[in-house]
Amino acid sequence: MQKERTLVLGSAGQIGTDLVEELRRIYGDSNVIATDIKDQPEAFKAKGPFMMADVTDAATIHKIIQENNVKQVYLLAALLSAVAENKPKAAWKLNMEGLFVMLDYCKENNDVKLYWPSSIAVFGTTTPRHNTPQKTIIEPSTVYGISKLAGERWCEYYHYKHGVDVRSIRYPGLISYKADPGGGTTDYAVNIFHEAILKNTYECFLREDTALPMMYMPDAIRATIELMNAPAEKIKTRNSYNLAGISFTPAILVDEIKKHLPDFTCTYKPDSRQQIADTWPASIDDSVAQKEWGWKHRYELAAMTEDMLIHMKEKYKVTT
């Protein structure tokens, strides 16, 4: 019998890069198929199966799943908040059509489990800003947020109506060093580390007092895999789970970086991303995820900052 495989759609992005590596560590290189619309370097393709595929191309995606005995799919392809504001129709098409390709497949094949990421972008200015609850007013005002809210409703609908085992997390801003972030509002919290090591200075596109929920990538990857591996009966929330990590402002992050690089400076020049950030929560209440499947984040600001700087120094071969 063919081995059960896992498929990652949109594997070359910020989450996919870390997720594929971790899934391959757990399930074995040959059992995790990575796909992306863009071709990947030969070095990556040598490590495990890779296929070029567009997530909105149902025939191709369904064929890959069937031919490879795929039983878990992580659908990561999406346009993020800042890019989506400039390309609203393209964002809606990619973010929604890709989801339907998979929901419709899983409706006919209930033994295939689906992971689909949502975001804190589902929240809006009418949502309580601090310790935002799991169930609350959800009125997003960005294209990306609207697509994520619609996606959450469809996930829940396909679960209750068609028995689809779909699971989801509302990711906060994700901080990582392996891949660059892909056009979001929280990207400053990654860019700042690159510039801190390369130039010892950074111009931030958000105001210094803009508090946002963030999470270090190792926690986000652990959460994603733990959620997918949790027994189905524990997963009572079928739209998407709130997940809290670290909440901080650019000024707080700068102070933390300065503990390692005392001469580091940051200037502030807010652009259109500030308007998006102003509609999002400052911190998240994830008690439902804690209660239902035992989630607990590990990385706080100090540990995340220290680890990011170590990896940035390695990346840019800085020895001091």
Nearer to ligand AKB, 68 or 168 (CB): 168
Interatomic CA distance for residues 269 and 146, integer angstroms: 27
With CB atoms as reference, the residue minimizing the distance to ligand AKB is 184
Least spacing, CB of residue 113 vs ligand AKB, in Å: 22
Nearer to ligand AKB, 3 or 269 (CB): 269
Closest Cα partner for 170 from 148, 190, 150, 153? 148
Least spacing, CB of residue 282 vs ligand AKB, in Å: 13
Least spacing, CB of residue 186 vs ligand AKB, in Å: 4
Nearer to ligand AKB, 14 or 31 (CB): 14
Tokens of 293: 């499947």
Q: Which residues bind ligand AKB (CB under 6 A)?
A: 80-81, 119-121, 144, 171, 173-174, 184-186
Nearer to ligand AKB, 16 or 184 (CB): 184
For 245, other C-beta atoms within 10 Å of its C-beta total: 26
144 as an active site residue: the answer is yes
Interatomic CA distance for residues 61 and 98, integer angstroms: 10
Interatomic CA distance for residues 294 and 257, integer angstroms: 31
Nearer to ligand AKB, 186 or 305 (CB): 186
Q: Which long-range contacts (CB under 8 A, 24 or more apart) does 308-315 make?
A: 308/175, 308/177, 308/193, 308/216, 309/193, 309/196, 309/197, 309/257, 309/260, 309/261, 311/177, 312/177, 312/193, 312/194, 312/196, 312/197, 313/197, 315/177, 315/197
User: Which sign, positive or negative, has the C-alpha torsion 244, 250, 255, 259?
Assistant: positive
Of 74, 105, 115, 144, which residue is the catalytic one? 144
Least spacing, CB of residue 43 vs ligand AKB, in Å: 27
- Which residue numbers are catalytic? 144
